Structure 1
Amino acid sequence: MMGRQEAPAQLFYEFDLERHVPANHMLREIDLFLDCGGLREALRPFYSHLGRPSIDPELIIRMLVIGYVMGIRSERRLCDEVHLNLAYRWFCRLGLERKVPDHSTFSRYRHGKFRESNLLRQAFEATVERCLKEDLVSGEGFAVDASLISADANKVRSIAAEDWSPERAREVGNRAAREYLETLDDAAFGAASPVQPKFVAKSDPAAQWTRAEESRPYFAYATNYLIDTKSAVIMDVEATRAIRQAEVGASRTMLDRTEKRFGIRPDWLAADTAYGNAENLGWLVEKRSIIPFIPVIDKSERTDGTWSRSDFEWDEANDQYICPEGHALRQFRRNYSDPTRGQDAGGRKKYRALKATCQACPSKEVCCPKAEARYVTREPHEEAREFARECRKTKAYKVSRDKRKKVEMLFAHLKRILGLTRLRLRGPNGAKDEFLLAAIAQNLRKLAKLRPQNVLREATA
């Protein structure tokens, strides 16, 4: 006989929300690692002791964590999901009857108390501290890289760069334009490069008009990750314009901030060629004593069959190069009192051979066939560049190259699993907030995966 399901007419129900959330649910694991006690203390000075109680800021943080951990990009949809999903209600401490806040609450907290107190940065650092406590960080080797995330800006509503100016930004007057004006002197945004992009988006002027490989140009920001290569824990994250100078500068900012905040300086740093300029290598080797497992940006190698700079031997004691024929190339033939004499604006030095020596040399055709005498330039921080070249020949470099792929895997996870392919928030602060929340979510998922406390509790029970 066919059965029929009917809703029982009961006046009272016994319902335990705790029992209806699976023991192996990801949010159960994350709940054990998310500590909001310190966040409350950080926000306390920004609340008045008078008036009605506000919405619990811990509830807002927990809802945001759900959104980024579960890849729910819309805050309207997030509110609906928390309202309907029992596991989400349990994680947010809402029970069955409490009301879910309106989606507009997120905006008020984001532009108000959260940014004033730098709360999201503190929440991220709290996840890093928990990773340190759980022994997921070795501090031996770090890797750094950047990935482009499309901005919430449209090419159709953009204007040409020559028509854009700070005065025009003041006329636009939206929040993103005001943030753009505030970051004009910031090394990660306005001051990153004097070169203007081809187009500027009026809705988000700080977004960079750029083009990734095999794609059409678009407006984007760059999210920069500094990770520990042991378990791919994100040690720091920084939002910048999508240009190389800003990304390289962000790597230094993150290394300094990690050392100041956690007292950790890595023995070596792995990165791709974009970080292999002379200034950055000099900073790593000479100022921070960090081994750079980074390919050197080097354009000195010749392809026409003549001798390159690497064929000349550097004689540091006498400040000269020795050519393969044994002749000296010197910067000066007499002493000068000015130590910067002979350097160009970039600090590059030029070492020349004598004209008479080169004219009589039997190897002139493979050295300088079209010039009267050979000269060789020496780049700034050449000692650090040479050290990086030697590091590339070691077995440790090959190991670091494999470990560096972990940061690229994090970017793939960020876009494919968490769904962060396009920003919802505009302006530099909006990009910072989204990247911090995404990094919090990834570190919490890492903790839940590698240190599953519920499994350990069941095993010892």
Structure 2
Amino acid sequence: MMGQLDSGQNKLFYSFNLDNHVPQTHLLRGIDRALDLGDLRQHLAPFYSPIGRPSIDPEFMIRMLIVGYCFGIRSERRLCEEVHLNLAYRWFCRLGLDDAVPEHSTFSKNRHGRFRDSDVLRHVFESVLGRCMAEGLVRGEGFAIDASIIKADASRSSAVPGTDPIDWGPTAKQSRAVREYLQALEESNPVASDAAESAESSTPPKMISLSDPASSWTAAPGGPAFFAYSTNYLIDLEAGIIMDVEATPANRSHEVESTKTMIDRVEQRLCLKPARLVGDTAYGTAAMLGWMVEQKEIAPHVPVWERYARKDDAFSTSEFKWNETANEYRCPAGKALRSERRQFKNSRTHVTKADTIIYRSSQLDCAGCSMKERCCPKTPFRKVTRSIHEAARDEARRIATTSAYKQSRRERKKVEMLFAHLKRILKLDRLRLRGPSGAHDEFLLAATAQNLRRMAIRLMARDDKSEIATA
């Protein structure tokens, strides 16, 4: 006999336990175990009024945001709908079946207010990182650094040339992103009487977005140019845990400088400093290598950024032998190249604005040299430029010949895998929020979600092994 479903939707009483309807293997089970927000209210207490109507629980909002970033729900309006419908999301957010989900505008009000004022997203990120360290997922011996470009919420149609004067209108009608941009201009040039004078005093960008002027106009990935920010990851190579994240303009110099900020912040807050730092050629500049070797005593597992090779058949710089004791180079013919050939009354460093020292050969030596056509065919003497951080560059070149360096190059793929996961799984290939603060918030939440997912998977796998061993 054919059966017929009795929906039971008209029952007056139900016996329902939400916990029983969330599978033990669900990812949110592991994330809930890994997430500890016990001190969140204490951190936010100074930013709430002691009187008045009780607000929405901040832990509840943070849990909802974590759900959104862990499962690639990019819209807060859609996030509220999903939490309303999904039993696992309700369970993770500590909601009952009858509890209401707040309006999506609640997130905007708190984000632009007390969340940013208290830097609570940084607090949550570091809390999760501390749990990762407690679970043994961070070794602290080797870190890797890299950056990835994320499109800004700015259309190409809103672009205007950076050299054109822009009327941003009255302050009351400016967007948050515009006010943040103009405030940054004023802080960078306090002498200027207004933002317009500040903008004129610096080199203008090629294009500026009217909706998000702090974003950078870039064509770095290839193809048509667009507005973007860069997310910079500093990861531990043991399990690929993100140690720090920094939002910068999509510009190589800003990306490299953010490395110093993150290394110093991790050392200050977590008392961790890596023995080696792995990166690509962008981090192999002389100044960066000098900072790593001379100031931080970190082994640079980074390719050295070399000058372009000469296009003619002349001797390259590598064929000139350096003599540290004599402070001179020796050319292939055995002649000396020096930074000074006479004594000055007042000693000079001979350091250029580019932090280099130029060593020159004697014109007399070069005039009668049989190798002149291969050394300096178009000039009367040969010049060799040496960085003041050349010792650090030499150390990086020495490390590049070791087996440990080869292992570091393989391990560096972990940070690239995190960026692929960020864009394909978490769907953060384009920002929703505008301005540097918006990029900062999104990148911190995404990094927190990635660390939580990785730790949850490790914890659940550990439990499975324990159950098998017990059985």
The alignment's TM-score, normalised by the length of structure 2, stands at 0.93
Structure 2 equivalent of residue 233 of structure 1: 241
CA distance in 1, matches of 2:151, 2:375: 48
TM-aligned CA distance change 1:203 to 1:300, over 3 Å: closer
Q: Please, which of 435, 454, 465 is the counterpart of residue 446 of structure 1?
A: 454
The equivalent residue for 2:296 is 288
**CA 1:393–1:171: 2 relative to 1, 3 Å:** farther
**Aligned: 1:455 with 2:456:** no
Superposed, 1:11-90 pairs within 5 Å as 11-90=12-91
SS at 1:146's partner residue?
strand
Deviations 1:229-273 (A, max 9, x none): 110000000000000110001011000000001101001111111
Tell me which residue corresponds to 1:414.
Answer: 422
Q: Match for 1:307: what amino acid?
A: F
How far is the alpha carbon of 1:172 from its aligned partner? 6.4
Distance in 1 between residues matched to 2:349 and 2:368, nearest whole Å: 29
- Aligned residue for 1:159, secondary structure, equals strand
Partner of 2:192 in structure 1?
none
Please report how far the alpha carbon of residue 365 of structure 1 lies from its aligned counterpart in structure 2 after TM superposition: 1.7
User: Does residue 15 of structure 2 align to residue 2 of structure 1?
Assistant: no
Say if 1:236 and 1:258, in contact at 8 Å, map to a contact too. Answer: yes
What is the count of residue pairs matched by the alignment? 458
Residue 152 of structure 1 aligns to which amino acid in structure 2?
D
Inter-partner Cα distance in structure 2 for 1:28 and 1:388: 45
Q: Aligned partners of 1:44 and 1:229: how far apart in 2?
A: 36
Distance in 2 (CA, whole Å) between partners of 1:340 and 1:217 is: 46
SS at match of 2:146: strand
Distance across 2 between alignment mates of 1:420 and 1:7: 40
Matched ranges for 1:138-217 at <5 A: 138-164=139-165, 173-184=174-185, 185=187, 195-217=203-225
Whether contact under 8 Å (1:300, 1:309) holds in the other structure is no
Distance 1:194 1:391 in 2: 39
Secondary structure of 1:112 counterpart: helix
Aligned identity (percent) is 53
3-state SS in 2 of match to 1:183: helix
How far apart are the structure 2 equivalents of 1:119 and 1:293? 34
Q: Is residue 372 of structure 2 the alignment partner of residue 372 of structure 1?
A: no
- In the alignment, the residues of structure 1 paired with residue 188 and residue 232 of structure 2 have an alpha-carbon distance, to the nearest angstrom, of 16
Partners of 2:144 and 2:279 within 8 A in 1 = yes
Q: Distance in 2 between matches of 1:400 and 1:228?
A: 12
> Quick one: distance in 1 between partners of 2:269 and 2:165?
39
Separation of aligned partners in 1, 2:204 and 2:172: 20
3-state DSSP class of the match of 2:101?
A: coil
Post-superposition CA distance 1:115-161 (Å, at most 9, x none): 11110001001111111101111111110000000000011122110
Return the match for 1:222 from 220, 224, 230.
Answer: 230
- Partner of 1:122 in structure 2? 123
Alpha-carbon distance in structure 1 between the residues aligned to 2:173 and 2:406? 51
CA deviation after TM superposition for structure 1 residue 391, in Å? 1.4
Equivalent residue letter for 2:448: I
Q: Does 1:387 align with 2:395?
A: yes
The 3-state SS of whatever aligns with 1:203 is coil
The equivalent residue for 2:193 is none
C-alpha deviation, 1:345, in angstroms = 2.2
Cα distance in structure 1, aligned partners of 2:4 and 2:276: 68
How far apart in 1 are the matches of 2:314 and 2:306? Answer: 17
Q: Judge conservation of contact 2:159–2:207 (CA < 8 Å) in 1.
A: yes
1:133 maps to 2:134: yes
Equivalent pair of 2:163/2:205 in contact (CA under 8 Å): no
TM-score by length of 1: 0.95
Shift of 1:387: 1.4
Q: Which position in structure 2 is the counterpart of 1:433? A: 441
1:30–1:445: 8 Å Cα contact kept in structure 2?
Answer: yes
1:340–1:73 Cα change, 3 Å: farther
Residue aligned with 1:163, SS: coil
8 A contact 1:368–1:374 mirrored in 2 = yes
Name 1:105's counterpart in structure 2: 106
Which whole-Å CA distance do the structure 2 matches of 1:240 and 1:54 have between them? 33
Deviations along 1:343-387, whole A, 9 cap, x unmatched?
A: 332232211111111112221121112222222111231111121
Does the CA contact (< 8 Å) of 2:431 and 2:442 recur in 1? yes
In 1, Cα distance between the equivalents of 2:291 and 2:393?
11
Q: Structure 1's 347 and 54: CA in aligned 2 closer, same or farther, altered over 3 A?
A: same
**Bigger mean CA deviation after superposition, 240-249 or 45-54:** 45-54
CA separation of 1:68/1:216 partners in 2, compared to 1, >3 Å: closer, same or farther? Answer: same
Tell me which amino acid in the other structure corresponds to 1:447. Answer: M
Aligned-partner Cα distance in 2 for 1:169–1:266:
48
Matching residue's letter, 1:84? L
For residues 313 and 388 of structure 2, what CA distance do their matches in structure 1 show?
A: 26
Equivalence for 2:266: 258
Secondary structure at the counterpart of residue 4 of structure 2: coil
| Unmatched tracts of structure 1, length 5 or more | none
Q: Which amino acid aligns with 1:301?
A: A
Q: Per-residue deviation at 1:392?
A: 1.2
AA aligned opposite 1:374: R
The answer to whether the 8 Å contact 1:127/1:443 transfers is yes
Hey, what does 2:195 align to over in structure 1? none
Could you tell me how far 1:319 is from its partner in structure 2?
1.1
SS in 2 for 1:37: coil
Q: Deviations over 1:365-414 (max 9, x none)?
A: 21112222222111231111121112111111111111111100000000
CA distance in 2, matches of 1:327, 1:433: 59
Q: CA RMSD in A?
A: 2.1
